[in-house]
């Protein structure tokens, strides 16, 4: 019996250890459809962790937030704070309005381009098109007392209504120009809407009689009515405002939007209003008086550049004018900053964890391809570090020598080059010029080599040279549209993406032993590795920061915990050669922090810290020791 238990424990240990190694050696990449994936470095499996999501309509029903994902063509719902999201309907069209019937517990939505109104149960079942053949309809409202649906038909220029089952369609009132945002005050028998062409808010009786204008010279995107309080809420350009039902007593509740809020929804029993921020794609909420603004759901533009903060186990990426981050598994999405110069995309991104900086490339809406940087939380944005001489396509950082390398995407072969500068943008120099069409670039600080992609003809190649541009060597030729490259120097490997026919491949650093890891992908683009040693660099062989020799070195030793595997309790030991600030944390394999065991200054010496995991389940955990900003990890195996 004892032998069997030991055997099972050993098998379990082997399986868990294999899982841990697979989890820790991950490849991340973006693709042409605006998604971020990660996969094992052995090519066995991969998963989608980040997808574009752009909310286009919202509604509150049964203490759930319902929203339309315009990017994913789906209707989703979540708790009112945005957590526990689930998809209830997929493969829908371009939905512009969403509402519910609280009496019959039904969900209605308007598919504008197809000219249809649909209905389903609140869980997405029994979906059916009720009304078809409408001419570019807009706005959707429900009179729960009379059991009627209202909408505007843009082609016929009519306000229309029907029974809740779609029968009895009738014209109510002729409309002129562009209109949007219907809202019904069933208690007082009124319907409200926005007339964009005349810049007015109008109302009428529910039968179309007594038409009147209550607001002029306004251009709101949406409106909602609180009949009991006698108020109308308007999502206007740059602000959310509130007025009486007759348009008097204008109050600005929330301001500061880049464009404006849209798709207002009121949760009157909870005292909240919800809206979509047009610029950031966020769903936000606040109290009905405009206080306590908070994010509910973070929208995501199509990701472009991607990189990792291995020490913090965070994924950073660029989107449509946005910098964002999340945990390694895609959870905990954060919107860091709007850093666009207008309406345009960002591209490649790289991090300097030691100094707490990120660098990225913006597109031509800023006046040309330019390099910018900011703090890791998106603050202190510094634009155009390199001036007007550069049009970087891809960047790589040498954190030892404090340099940024980039491939230049200028027009004309004489401008297509590899250049470098200090991280503040000073001392720009051209290393190799007159390239064909340079693409992705990666650096090997250990051997002082740079690798890049070029297109000398119909096929792409991978090239390398010394950091000073000498000893240029073509490593691999005749690749099918390679895009980006990453290095695993410790294991003598390079990884790259090929857009056509859609592969992630690897080879030795000298170009031998080419392998296909993942095939059948949708134009993979940017790539980054959790095991890329350049992501951890920043000190020289003596452990002293090269750019500031007076700073305290990060020289330390983290020993394997003992016992390991362990049952409920284990000891973690580390040794410091210098007085240092130490942070010791435990994570699970999903990148979620379990506990912080130390976060303070320590003197020179050896330390032992005990960890009691009696309340946790068996599995692999990661001990992460950070000393003066530099880190090392160990696998901790809990077997109960």
Contacting residues for 5 by C-beta, under 8 A, at least 6 apart: none
Q: What is the pLDDT of residue 507?
A: 97
pLDDT single digits (tens) 570-597: 999 998 877 788 889 998 877 788 999 9
Q: State the Cα–Cα distance between residues 85 and 66, nearest whole angstrom.
A: 9
Which uninterrupted H or E stretch holds 16? helix 2-24
For range 555-579, the mean pLDDT = 88
- With beta carbons less than 8 A apart as the criterion, state whether 580 and 602 touch: yes
Structure-token match 């959707």, residue found: 140
Residue 414 lies in a domain: yes
Helix (H, G, I), strand (E, B), or coil: what is residue 262?
Answer: strand
Statement to judge: residues 511 and 582 lie in one domain: no
Same domain for 566 and 419?
no
Cβ atoms of 111 and 100 closer than 8 Å: no
Average pLDDT, the chain: 87
Q: How far is CA 355 from the centre of its chain?
A: 23
CA distance 466 to 392: 20
Q: What is the pLDDT of residue 310?
A: 84
CA 424, CA 407: separation in Å to the nearest integer? 17
Q: What percent of the chain has pLDDT over 90?
A: 65
Burial grade of 422 (CB within 10 A; 0-12, 13-18, 19 or more): middle
Pairing state of beta strands 231-244 and 251-267? antiparallel
Do residues 304 and 30 lie in contact, with contact meaning Cβ atoms separated by under 8 Å? yes
pLDDT at 320: 80
Beta bridge partners of 322: 338
Do 575 and 524 belong to one domain?
no
- Token pair for 467: 């950091």
- Going by pLDDT thresholds of 50, 70 and 90, the confidence category of residue 2 is very low
Collect all residues with Cβ–Cβ distance below 8 Å to 42 and sequence separation of at least 6.
22, 517
Report the candidate in 113, 123, 64 with the shortest Cα–Cα distance to residue 92.
113
Model confidence pLDDT, tens digit, residues 166-188: 999 999 999 887 788 999 999 99
Listed in sequence order, the DSSP H helices in 260-386 are none
Written as six digits, the tokens of 382 are: 């510094």
Give the tokens for residue 369.
């391809």
Q: What are the tens digits of pLDDT across the range 257-315?
A: 888 898 999 999 999 999 999 888 999 999 999 999 999 999 998 999 999 998 788 99
Q: Is residue 549 one of the residues assigned to a domain?
A: no
User: Cα separation of 604 and 617, whole Å?
Assistant: 35
From the CB of residue 379, how many other CB atoms can be counted at a distance below 10 Å? 9
Q: Is 12 domain-assigned?
A: no
Task: Kindly state whether residues 454 and 562 are assigned to the same domain.
Answer: no
Query: Distance (Å, rounded) from C-alpha 558 to C-alpha 612?
Result: 19
CA nearest to 27, candidates 516, 519, 504: 504
Model confidence pLDDT, tens digit, residues 234-263: 998 899 999 999 999 999 999 988 888 989
At 544 the pLDDT is 37
Angle (CA) 567-568-573 rounded to 5° is 90
pLDDT at residue 86 tops 50: yes
SS3 577: coil
Classify residue 190: in a domain, yes or no: yes
Last residue of some domain: 297, 318, 345?
Answer: 297
The whole-angstrom separation of Cα 451 and Cα 205 is 70
Q: Which residues pair with 170 in a beta bridge?
A: 161
Please give the structure tokens belonging to residue 415. 């401008």
Question: Is the same domain home to 42 and 73?
Answer: no
Dmax of the chain from CA atoms?
89
Instruction: Please confirm whether the linkage preceding 542 is cis (ω < 30° from 0).
Output: no
* 350-355-356-357 Cα dihedral, nearest 10 degrees: -40
Please state the domain count of the chain: 3
- Give the span between the Cα atoms of 395 and 485, in whole angstroms: 11
For residue 429, give both structure tokens: 């120099």
Q: 486 with 634, same domain?
A: no
Q: What percent of the chain stands above pLDDT 70?
A: 89
Residue 213 has pLDDT above 50, yes or no: yes
Q: How far is CA 504 from CA 55, 461, 478, 486, 583, in A?
A: 31, 15, 15, 11, 36
Identify the domain boundary among 239, 267, 297.
297
Token couple for 505:
């491949």
Residue that finishes a domain, picked among 535, 569, 584: 535
Q: Are 585 and 597 in contact (CB under 8 A)?
A: yes
* Within a domain: 619: yes
Give yes or no for a contact between 453 and 461, defined as CB atoms under 8 angstroms apart. yes
Contact 138, 154 (CB under 8 A): yes
Residue 13 lies in a domain: no
DSSP string, 595-614: EEEEEEEE-SEEEEEEEE-T
Per-residue confidence band for 536, with pLDDT thresholds at 50, 70 and 90: low
Average pLDDT rounded to a whole number, residues 114-139: 95
Q: Are residues 528 and 424 in the same domain?
A: yes
Sheet holding 619-627, edge to edge: 593-602, 580-588, 619-627, 630-638
* pLDDT at residue 551 in the model: 39
For the cut 70, the answer to whether the pLDDT of residue 555 exceeds it is: no
For 349-388, how does the pLDDT look when each residue is reduced to its tens digit (9 = 90+)? 999 988 899 999 886 555 567 888 999 999 998 888 887 6
SS3 content of the chain, % helix, strand, coil (to 5): 5, 50, 40
| 492's tokens | 């003598």
Number of H-type helices and E-type strands within the chain: 1, 52
Q: Are strands 200-205 and 190-195 parallel, antiparallel or unpaired?
A: antiparallel
Return d(Cα 435, Cα 440) in angstroms, integer.
13
Q: Identify whether residues 171 and 262 lie together within a single domain.
A: yes
Band (pLDDT 50/70/90 cuts) for residue 474 is: very high
Residues 47 and 77 in one domain: no
- pLDDT tens-digit readout, 216-230: 999 899 999 999 999
3 located within any domain? no
Residue 623 pLDDT more than 60?
yes
Domain of 564: which CATH number? Answer: 2.60.40.2550
Q: What is the DSSP letter of 560?
A: P
Determine the 3-state secondary structure of 20 from DSSP.
helix
CA distance 394 to 50: 22
- Average pLDDT of span 192-212: 94
Q: Are residues 268 and 308 in the same domain?
A: no
Lowest mean pLDDT among 19-33, 50-64, 475-489: 19-33
Q: Is residue 551 part of a domain?
A: no
Residue in 182, 193, 174 with CA at minimum distance from that of residue 117: 182
Q: Answer whether residue 514 shows pLDDT above 90.
A: yes
State pLDDT tens for residues 324-334.
999 999 999 99
Residue 245's domain comprises 55-297
CA–CA separation, 134 and 114 (whole Å): 8
Rounded to whole angstroms, the Cα distance separating 594 from 592 reads 6
335 and 251 both lie in a single domain: no
The answer to whether the peptide bond before residue 482 is cis (omega within 30 degrees of 0) is: no
Looking at the structure, do residues 267 and 385 belong to the same domain, yes or no?
no
CATH code of the domain containing 30:
2.120.10.30
């Amino acid at each position: 019996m004892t032998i069997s238990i030991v055997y099972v424990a050993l098998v379990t240990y082997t399986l868990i250890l294999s899982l841990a190694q697979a989890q820790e050696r991950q490849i991340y990449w973006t693709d042409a459809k605006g998604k971020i994936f990660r996969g094992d470095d052995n090519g066995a499996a991969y998963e989608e962790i980040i997808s574009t999501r752009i909310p286009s309509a919202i509604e509150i029903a049964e203490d759930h937030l319902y929203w339309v994902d315009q990017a994913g063509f789906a209707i989703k719902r979540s708790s009112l704070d945005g957590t526990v999201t689930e998809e209830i309907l997929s493969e829908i069209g371009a939905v512009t309005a969403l509402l519910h019937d609280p009496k019959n517990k039904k969900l209605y939505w308007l598919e504008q381009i197809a000219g249809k109104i649909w209905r389903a149960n609140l869980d997405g079942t029994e979906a059916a098109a009720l009304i078809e053949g409408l001419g570019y309809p807009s706005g959707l409202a429900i009179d729960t007392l009379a059991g009627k649906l209202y909408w505007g038909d843009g082609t016929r220029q009519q306000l229309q209504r029907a029974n809740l089952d779609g029968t009895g369609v009738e014209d109510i009132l002729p409309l002129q120009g562009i209109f949007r945002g219907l809202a019904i005050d069933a208690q007082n028998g009124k319907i409200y809407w926005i007339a964009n062409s005349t810049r007015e808010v109008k109302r009428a009786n529910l039968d179309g009689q007594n038409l009147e204008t209550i607001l002029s010279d306004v251009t709101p995107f949406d409106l909602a009515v609180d009949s009991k309080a006698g108020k109308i809420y308007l999502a206007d350009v740059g602000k959310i405002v509130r007025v009486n039902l007759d348009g008097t007593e204008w109050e600005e509740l929330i301001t500061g939007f880049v464009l404006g809020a849209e798709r207002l929804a009121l949760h009157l029993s909870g005292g909240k209003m919800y809206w979509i921020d047009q610029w950031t794609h966020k769903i936000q909420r606040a109290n009905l008086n405009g206080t306590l603004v908070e994010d509910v759901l973070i929208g995501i533009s199509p990701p472009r550049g991607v990189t990792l903060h291995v020490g913090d186990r965070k994924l950073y990426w660029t989107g449509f004018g946005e910098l964002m981050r999340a945990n390694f598994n895609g959870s905990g999405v954060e919107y860091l900053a709007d850093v666009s110069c207008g309406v345009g995309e960002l591209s490649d991104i790289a991090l300097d964890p030691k100094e707490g900086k990120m660098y990225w490339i913006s597109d031509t809406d800023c006046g040309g391809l330019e390099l910018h940087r900011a703090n890791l939380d998106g603050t202190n944005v510094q634009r155009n570090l390199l001036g007007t001489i550069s049009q970087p396509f891809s960047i790589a950082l040498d954190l030892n020598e404090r340099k940024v390398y980039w491939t230049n995407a200028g027009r004309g072969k004489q401008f297509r080059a590899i250049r470098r500068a200090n991280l503040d943008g000073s001392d720009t120099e051209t290393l190799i010029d007159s390239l064909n069409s340079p693409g992705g670039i990666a650096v090997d600080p250990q051997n002082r080599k740079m690798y890049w992609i070029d297109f000398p003809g119909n096929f792409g190649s991978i090239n390398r040279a010394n950091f000073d541009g000498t000893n240029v060597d073509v490593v691999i030729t005749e690749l099918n549209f390679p895009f980006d490259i990453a290095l695993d120097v410790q294991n003598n490997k390079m990884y790259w993406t090929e857009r056509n026919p859609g592969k992630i491949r690897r080879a030795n650093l000298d170009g031998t032993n080419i392998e296909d890891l993942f095939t059948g992908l949708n134009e993979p683009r940017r790539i980054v590795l959790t095991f890329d040693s350049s992501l951890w660099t920043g000190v020289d062989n003596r452990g002293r920061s090269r750019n500031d020799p007076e700073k305290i070195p990060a020289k330390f030793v983290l020993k394997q915990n003992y016992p390991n595997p362990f049952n409920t309790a284990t000891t973690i030991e580390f040794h410091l050669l210098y007085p240092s600030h130490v942070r010791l944390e435990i994570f699970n394999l999903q990148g979620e922090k379990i506990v912080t065991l130390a976060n303070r200054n320590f003197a020179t010496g050896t330390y032992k810290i005990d960890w009691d995991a009696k309340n946790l389940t068996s599995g692999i955990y990661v001990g992460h020791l950070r000393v003066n900003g530099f880190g090392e990890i160990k696998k901790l195996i809990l077997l109960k």
